[in-house]
Amino acid sequence: MREKLSNYFSFVFEDELIDEIVQVGTYKKLRENELLVDLGDKMVGVPLLLEGAIKIVREDKKGDEILLYFLERGDTCASSFSSALSHRKCGIRAIAEKDSEIIFLPIAKLDEWLVKYKSWRNFVIDSFNIRLNEMMETIDTLAFMKMDERLYKYLMDRAQIMRETALTTTHQDIAYDLHTSRVVISRLLKQLENEGKIKLHRNKIEILEF
C-alpha cells in the first residue's frame, strides 16, 4: 500500500503523512459496479482513491438518479468528507465505474491532520474547490445544454476518467446517469454516430474524436 501511495502522493503529501496513512488507513479493492457508499450510510471513514474511477450520484424523491461527478486516481470525495466531519448520514451514492483500489481514512484523523499537515489542508481545500466547480458545471450542463450536447460531454468526460476510448455501457445506464429515457439516448447516440463522433457496438461505445 505504501508503494502505491508514494507513487502518486509523494509530491502531494509529506513522508510523515504518508506513513500515518499507511498505519491507520484501511485498504480495499472494489470490483466494477460495486457500491462504495450509499445514501443514508453513516460515514466511518473517507475514501482516498489509489486506482480506478468512482461515480458519484444523487437520488431524488422518486428514486431517479442523476450523475454529479466522477472521482479518479488521487481524488477524495468532498461530500463524504463533509458528512464525516459533521457526523451526518451520507447524501450521495458512490459506485465503482471500473475495478478500483481505495484507502479508507478514519474520521478521527481528519481534523488532526488539518492542523498537523499543511499538505493535507491544501489537499482538502483543493478537493472541495474541484468538486464545487464540477457541481457548478453539472448545473450549467442541465440548465444550458441541449441533450445531445450533454450526452457527448458525458461520453468525453467518462472516456477521460476511464482513460479509455471504448466505453463498456448500455443505453439504459447512460439514460439513468443523464436522467432521461433510453429511447432518447438511443436516438442521440445514433445521431452522434452519423456525425462521425462515435462508433456504436454491442454494449460498447467507441469515441472517435478524442
- Who has greater pLDDT, 45 or 123? 123
Residue 210's pLDDT is 67
Q: Which residue has the cell 471500473?
A: 98
- DSSP-derived letter for residue 60 is -
Quote the pTM value. 0.81
- Tens of pLDDT along 54-92? 999 988 777 778 888 899 999 998 888 888 888 888 889
CB of 96 closer than 8 Å to CB of 30: yes
- CA 119 → CA 50, 83, 137, 144, distances in Å? 17, 21, 27, 37
Confidence of residue 35 (pLDDT cuts 50, 70, 90): very high
Quote the strand ranges of 100-152, DSSP E: 100-106
Write down all domains in the chain, each with its CATH number in brackets. Answer: 2-142 (2.60.120.10), 145-207 (1.10.10.10)
Q: Which residues contact 85 (CB under 8 A, 6 or more apart)?
A: 107, 110, 111
How far is residue 6 CA from its own chain's centroid? 22
| β-sheet bridge partners, residue 101 | 29, 51
pLDDT score recorded for residue 120: 94
Per residue in 82-92, pLDDT (tens digit) is 888 888 888 89
End-to-end CA distance of the chain: 33
Q: What is the mean pLDDT of the chain?
A: 90
Model confidence at 123, pLDDT cuts 50, 70, 90, reads very high
Is-contact 54 71, C-beta < 8 A?
Answer: yes
